[in-house]
Amino acid sequence: MRPVRTAAAVMVVAALAAASACGGGESGGSGDPGRTVDLADFTPGPPKGWDANGFSVDASSLRCAGAATNPTRGITDTSVKVGGLAVITSPATSSMAGIDVGAKVRFQRANAAGGVAGRTIDFVGVKDDALDPARNGQQAHALVEQDQVFAVVPVATVFSNFLDVFCAQRVPFFGWGIGGGFCDTANGFGITGCLLPDRPKVDATTWGLMVTSVLGPVEQAKTKAVAVIGLDTDASRAGVDAVARGVRLAGIPVSYDKSPIPLSGLNDATAIVGDIMTSNKGGPPDLVIFPGDFESTTKVTEALKANGYKGDTINAVGYDPRLTSLDALDGAHTLLQFAVPEADTPAIRQLKADFAQYAPDQPLTLPAMAGYWSADMFVAALTATGRDLTADSFLKKLNSGDFSYYVQDTVAESRWPLNHATSPPCFAMAQLSQHQYQVATKLTCGSLVPLASAPSSTPTG
């Protein structure tokens, strides 16, 4: 079986890192913990009610705020029209295939229950930008000007050319925020908030919590070392820097933080593995984190094991029910932004039942689940707005300060308009063990931390 790559992985992981650490800050593999925060901030908390530490967002200051040019587009007395935009196919890298199926499944359940506030959801499908920025903009225009959609759900693309039309016409959009279009825009709502802010406004304790969930409590983890390795791209370097910054906030040493893997692929991992295996005062680190794509992650993981590495690993591309037979990832932890099917929450049981009924042949991949939860968030937003629906009334309600989206123990709470500017400080982890996925860390949250300048040091990667 050919291994399945999960998503547009370079950008997804860079987004995860930016979400969790909220800033590119310091870099350097000296092991110096740099800026740290109170250890009490690294106490795991529930996925609802996390501490924002006074951080807030004024919706009127965001991009794309203001009145819609056509506030009733896509709305009739009996239906509301919706379409999506995502990387469904890509000749160069992995895709979000399945996200369209997940959204359709959730909309089918909503319609079977009679719709929302007296309207069924007329889902016209998901347009494919094929990882092409120009096509991204063209497809966005087609959704608004030809299909006449009220909202775009789901959106999952690394490009933000769609903002040209979504912003100008105040089109609401919901999805998995793997691109910058979900940040600082009044009409963009990510199931995981804003993952890639241009100018981070707040730190978070998320990466420290992730590391301690693997290495043990903070005081114990501070005696160990972490390596972070990424691709040779600006996005991946930002992700590596952000992960390292988040780990150092907990006072945990980072012995290696470099981005040496060519985007074209890694032919020989010998030099990279040798560098990692001697980064911790001549010895190996205790944990290696991979903000990279599927192929480079598996290749370096295999090479580390072949060179005697006995520590732990965390990646963001290793969860897929079609990967359980892959020996290279056995024992690896996969970082997630929502609960996986193994969590067996009430909402997960409902999700499984919905897929069994409406899309029995669709594997429960991360993109498929992201599509489902994006659609679920949109249904929640329609419900909150009620029968008096226009683009203006919809966005006014969502940005009023009293709208939040939370699925019990399954999707962490996001609050609006706050999460237009940052991500909820939350995560879950799965571990592949003996060809079966297990819940390594249930969905949990840390806290936001006021942003402060970290000491500068010499970059190493």
- Please check whether residue 422 lies inside any domain of the structure: no
Residues 193, 108 share a domain: yes
Q: Are residues 309 and 442 in the same domain?
A: yes
pLDDT at 194: 93
Torsion angles phi and psi, residue 262, rounded to 5: -65, 140
Q: Are residues 65 and 156 in the same domain?
A: yes
Phi/psi region, residue 261 (left: phi>0; alpha: psi -120 to 50; beta: rest), is beta
What is the Cα–Cα distance from 397 to 416, expressed in whole angstroms? 10
**Residue 390 within any structural domain of the chain:** yes
Q: Where are the alpha helices (DSSP H) in 190-321?
A: 206-215, 218-221, 234-249, 270-277, 294-306
Residue 15 is predicted with a pLDDT of 38
pLDDT in tens, the chain (461 residues): 333 443 434 344 433 443 343 433 433 444 444 566 666 667 899 999 999 999 999 999 999 999 999 999 999 999 999 999 999 997 765 689 999 999 999 999 999 999 999 999 999 999 999 989 999 999 999 999 999 999 999 999 989 999 999 999 999 999 998 888 999 999 999 999 998 888 888 889 999 999 999 999 999 999 999 999 998 888 788 778 889 989 999 999 999 999 999 877 788 999 999 999 999 999 999 999 997 778 888 899 999 999 999 999 999 888 999 989 999 899 999 999 999 899 999 999 999 999 999 999 999 999 999 999 999 999 999 999 999 999 999 999 999 999 999 999 999 999 999 999 999 999 999 999 999 999 999 999 999 998 765 333 333 33
Task: Looking at the structure, tell me whether residues 354 and 316 fall in a common domain.
Answer: no
Q: What is the pLDDT of residue 10?
A: 36
Provide the pLDDT for residue 460. 39
* Beta-carbon-side half-sphere exposure of residue 412 (alpha carbons within 13 Å): 26
Note whether residue 54 is domain-resident: no
- Asked if 129 and 76 sit in the same domain, the reply is yes
Q: Which residue spans within 318-461 are E strands per DSSP?
A: 333-336, 403-407, 411-416, 426-433, 436-445, 448-450
- The answer to whether position 413 is within a domain reads no
Q: Is residue 71 part of a domain?
A: yes
* Listed residue (435, 451, 445, 386) closest to 41, CA to CA: 445
Neighbours of 18 (CB within 10 A): 28
pLDDT at 94: 65
Same domain, 244 and 267: yes
Task: State the virtual CA torsion across 209, 213, 218, 219 in degrees, nearest 10.
Answer: 180
Contact 84, 128 (CB under 8 A): no
227 and 84 within one domain: no
Distance from C-alpha of 16 to C-alpha of 207, rounded to nearest angstrom: 10
Mark whether 77 and 184 lie in a shared domain: yes
Three-class secondary structure of residue 287 per DSSP: strand
Residues 166, 216: one domain?
no
CATH number of the domain encompassing residue 247: 3.40.50.2300
Type of residue found at 61? S
The total of structural domains in the chain comes to 2
Q: Is residue 4 part of a domain?
A: no
Q: Are residues 355 and 432 in the same domain?
A: no
Collect all residues with Cβ–Cβ distance below 8 Å to 130 and sequence separation of at least 6.
87, 88, 89, 90, 91
Q: Where does residue 131 fall: left (phi above 0), alpha (psi -120 to 50 degrees), or beta otherwise?
A: left
Say yes or no: 302 and 217 in one domain: yes
Which domain does 264 fall in, by range?
9-48+203-341+427-450
Residues 234 and 286 in one domain: yes
Terminal alpha carbon distance of the chain: 34
Q: Considering only CA atoms, which of 204, 203, 192 is closest in space to residue 337? A: 192
pLDDT given at position 21: 38
The residue count for the chain: 461
In a domain? residue 419: no
Kindly report the backbone phi and psi dihedral angles of residue 252, in degrees, each rounded to the nearest multiple of 5, phi listed first. Answer: -95, 125
Identify each DSSP E strand in 30-117 by its residue range: 79-86
Please indicate, yes or no, if residue 459 is contained in any of the structural domains: no
Q: Which of 155, 204, 151 has its CA nearest to residue 180?
A: 155
